Amino acid sequence: MQVPHRRRTVVRRPLNQPDGETPVVDDQTPAETDETPAETDETPIADDETPTADDEAPARKKAPAGGKRPGKTAKATKEAGPAASRQRRRPPLVVVCLTGALVAALAAAGITGYQWYSQRSVDQAHQEAMAAARQTTVNFVSVSAATVDRDLKRVTDGATGEFKDEFTRGAPQVRAAVVENNVDSRGTVLRTGLVSGDGDSAVVLVAVDATVKNVNAPQGRQSHYRIQVEVSKDAKSGRWLVSKLQFVG
């Protein structure tokens, strides 16, 4: 590539030349040279320090992605923030329904379980009450002259309240009559029915057959009794005791 030559005109003025005289013009033209710079295939390497568009215009800020202005984006984000948060916090309708159904099912199961347990406890109490009524009734009609003291004590141990007081008061007369008449009585429970009751008390009807032997009937005779028994649960021992006993047929 040829480099163009520039022509230079030099004006020289002697130091002692008067102001009115024309200065000498020296026209110097640089000698032409045949030397031509060698062409090179090397491409200039871009300097890393070449200022970029961002460096030349530091005040110009990059536009955010999407072409939205920062101010409007921040404002829109601020306005949409609570609504978006509410939408994120709000569970789906299906989850709400399933949760409600689960809570209802658990509540129903709890109530059913409690009712079942309560009814089971009452049923167990009724069974214990009827068992106590059967045993005390059998003890009451089963007495022998040979074991009278033990037999009477067995009845007293299963009694409480009014029945216990009455039986204890009449025990000496009963003992004397049994011994005098050489009584030997054995009872058997035929049926037991619950008239009424709860977890602490019950009324039981007991049907009993007894074979009674004495001096007047050494072969024995059959007797049939229907006895109504009131039983209650002792708070200290937890045993079911007979509080009242009466013949009803």
Domains and CATH numbers, the chain: 115-247 (3.10.450.230)
Across all residues in the chain, what is the average pLDDT?
A: 75
Instruction: Give the per-residue pLDDT at 36.
Output: 47
User: Are 178 and 143 spatial neighbours (Cβ–Cβ below 8 Å)?
Assistant: yes
- Return the bridge partners of 84, or none: none
pLDDT at 5 over 90: no
Q: Which of 159, 100, 105 has its CA nearest to residue 132? A: 159
- Find the helix packing angle between 161-180 and 148-157, rounded to 10°: 170
Spatial distance between the Cα atoms of 245 and 192, rounded to a whole number of angstroms: 14
Average pLDDT over residues 87-110: 69
Spatial distance between the Cα atoms of 102 and 112, rounded to a whole number of angstroms: 15
> Using one digit for the tens of pLDDT, what is the confidence trace for 44-70?
444 444 444 444 444 454 545 545 555
Q: Which of 38-47, 65-74, 78-87 has the lowest mean pLDDT?
A: 38-47
Query: Helix or strand or coil: residue 205?
Result: strand
